[in-house]
Structure formats: structure tokens, C-alpha cells
Amino acid sequence: FPVYGVIYGDSNGGKTTFGELASKLMCGKRIDPAKSDDFTATAIAERKLANEGLPINVEDLAKSQYTNNFEKIIKDDLWGIKEGYVNYPSVSISTNKVPSLTSDISKRVVSCHINALIGKTEGVKLKKKVSDNIKKATNALYCEYVSRMYPLVVEMGEKMKSGDNDYFPDAFELSSNVLRELF
């Protein structure tokens, strides 16, 4: 299942605010983002172990840092399997400039291109309102989502381990169905 998400687009598109909102909705509090320099195979592995399932958000990833490290990080499909790690976190990456996602990477990440630009005047005017609303947000929806989704993912994983070559799970469809039921 994809563990990495890449949110990319021009400056002032709302990527940072989205990361703040997502961590609040998932964890009930804001999770401090990792810096661009933390995007190395060693640093990400250490954070995965330390975070025990809490999301890792790499904020404003520099193009050079991405280019130098993405293959060692994103293409490491077997990380933690041999050790039996099951609660490792998802990693979201926000960046203004990223080279095009090649097919070997795009099949391993969920990507989202932000094609919006929030004007500086509007951004300043709305920042307090948005921040206040993020502070009020809870993680109740996410908790209910996980309580319904987790057993389904475990079942999906067991079917995959059974070696049934005709079984092609779609975690996104499953997730979408759970969300529809919730709403």
C-alpha cells in the first residue's frame, strides 16, 4: 500500500496549511513537520521508528534533496517487513518544485498537484480564521474511520499473503466505501 504522498505546486497554494489540518484531523494536535534536510534514508527510517504510526510531514522539500534521496527512500518497498514493523507512519512530502514523477515512483506514491495560488493579501486576511478553525478541529472522524478500516486492511493483507493470484485488492475503493458509509 502507498506509504508516501507528494503534494506539489507553486508557493502560496495552501500546502503547509493542508499539512497542519491533516495532522490535526488525524492526531488531534499539530505535528511539527520535518525539514528538507531530514529527507535522507537514515533520517526517515529513524523517524518511522520513533513515530510509531504518527504521520511524518516533510515540509518544503528542496528539489536537490528530493533528487538525491527519493530512490533510496520511496523505492524501499521492503522497509520494516523483515523486522515485523506494522505501525510505521505514512510520509507526506510538500514541495514547490519537483521533477516529474517517473512511473517507478508514481506507482509508489499518492500525488496531488495543487494548481491554486492564494494571493498574499487574501492569505494574510484569512490566516487567523483558518488557524482558529484548525485549532477547533478534532480527530473524531479519523478515529472512526480507522476503527472501521483497520480490520478490512488486515483482512486484505491476509488474502494477499494466501497467494491467491486472482485477488487484486483496491485499498482506495475500500477506503472510499468506508468514508461513504461514515458520511
| Burial (CB count <10 Å: 0-12, 13-18, 19+), residue 94 | buried
The letter for the amino acid at 100 is S
Cell numbers placing 163: 497467494
What is the structure's pLDDT at 140?
95
Cα angle, residue 166 at apex, residues 163 and 172 outer, rounded to 5° = 95
Name which residue leads in pLDDT, 42 or 30. Answer: 42
**Phi (first) and psi of residue 114, to 5 degrees:** -90, 110
Average pLDDT score, the chain: 87
In the chain, alpha helices (H): 15-27, 41-51, 63-74, 103-106, 120-136, 140-161, 171-182
58: β partners: 34, 93
Count of residues in the chain: 183
Tell me the whole-structure pTM to 2 decimals.
0.78
pLDDT more than 70, % of the chain: 98
Say which residue the cell 523505492 belongs to.
Answer: 75
pLDDT(104) > 80: yes
What is the structure's pLDDT at 1?
59
pLDDT(170) > 90: no
What is the structure's pLDDT at 99?
61
10 three-class SS = coil
Cell numbers placing 102: 517517473
